[in-house]
Chain A
């Protein structure tokens, strides 16, 4: 007999079956290990740290590289502690469009698209903010709006974690445009845009 290893065909088959099973299960095991590699993704849980989070807070009194906010005008909306009346960079049509888009994402839910303060969240029970067209706010310097976005105001949270610096200023520019839009007359519209405006207003 040559095949002394297996005393019967049945024994051979059983061995083959077992071998296949082991191969298949280690295959799955390896595949799993590739699926979930020993690395951590953003916001993943981890039992390495006591608080169970993989993401870490900054160590106290440290600043991440590239996050030193030296430009007071740009980052704080003030110069020597006084609220600025000017923007830290030129406001182009592009910036204005960006501001409109960001305003509609982050502010319109409460302040509504016209800025009068009757957005959906307000209709659902949030405190109604003062309209941007209120004289007090029309007279406020742009630095004030920047500071409200960054730090919040009363019951409104600050939006610094959600909105990067340049976008905050773009939103301020758009708020200025909104305020202006409610007080402007047809004579203020540049002639080149008059036709466009009229086409939009006649249904």
Chain B
């Protein structure tokens, strides 16, 4: 029988085993990096909106989050304000500014403004704002310093692994209830001890890994 392969094929075979391993590993690493890239997560990427509403500007005037997001303490959905809320002030303030024309059109024609959603959780995950706010999770813990964002962007991936960072050890993140809406709140040096006390005070049950039960979020 004649030889089919040249002796150098041995080397080639060895090299291709190693190269094959690395290229598969490389692909996995690349895929993982892609999942975490801002291209996929949209973290730090402001979204265009019909009206370039600036949280930074409005909060600098001392407006509280709850002036517009009225249901954040009682309901799952924090609430997007109706055009009426804009008009409370903008019927007089900046009432001829071209930039606010879509707001006035919406008001006159009784057609809601169409905002582009920035925080779009997959629908198989159930999230409740009021439960978090009342447990002492501050707005800025998840949303970042919205008071410094002209156009809102996502500060965090909202991936499950990110949720679990807190669900595994909420004492690292919770704050007193009266600080929830304070954007500038910083954790104290003894956050972990304080956090444990706050969890008790806010009646957050962390026993038996309850905060890690699947059905907490997937129901």
Contacts and interface: CB of A to CB of B under 8 A. Distances in A.
A120 B92 contact: no
B12 to A, nearest CB: 15
B91 A109 contact: no
A124 B94 CA distance: 9
Identify whether the interface residues of A are mostly helix, strand, loop, or mixed.
loop
A39 B124 CA distance: 11
B61 A120 contact: yes
Interface stretch (A40-48, A143-151, A194-202): A40-48
B82 interface: yes
Contacts of A125: 92-94
Given A34-B122, A162-B67, A124 B93 contact: yes
A126 interface: yes
A51 B89 CA distance: 26
A63 B67 CA distance: 26
Interface in A13-59: 34-37, 39, 41-43, 45, 51, 53
Given A53-B112, A126-B92, A42 B123 contact: no
B61 A121 contact: yes
Interface string B38-78: 00000000000000000000000111101100100000010
A162 B123 contact: no
Q: How large is the interface on A (under 10, 10 to 19, 20 to 34, 35 or more residues)?
A: 20 to 34
Interface in B3-17: none
Interface in A134-193: 155, 157, 161-163
A131 interface: no
A43 B70 contact: no
A194 B31 CA distance: 66
Given A43-B80, A124-B93, A36 B67 contact: no
A34 B218 CA distance: 12
A1 interface: no
B88 interface: yes
Nearest to A112: B62
Contact of A161 (B84, B91, B114): B84
Contacts of B122: 34-35
Contacts of A34: 122-124
B37 interface: no
B61 A39 contact: no
A69 B91 CA distance: 30
Contacts of A155: 91-92
B77 A109 contact: no
Contacts of B88: 157
A109 B123 contact: no
Interface of A: 34-37, 39, 41-43, 45, 51, 53, 104-106, 108-109, 120-121, 124-127, 155, 157, 161-163
25 contacts: A34-B124, A35-B123, A36-B123, A41-B77, A41-B123, A42-B77, A42-B79, A51-B111, A105-B64, A106-B67, A108-B62, A109-B62, A109-B63, A120-B62, A125-B93, A125-B94, A126-B89, A126-B93, A157-B87, A157-B91, A161-B82, A161-B85, A162-B67, A162-B70, A163-B70
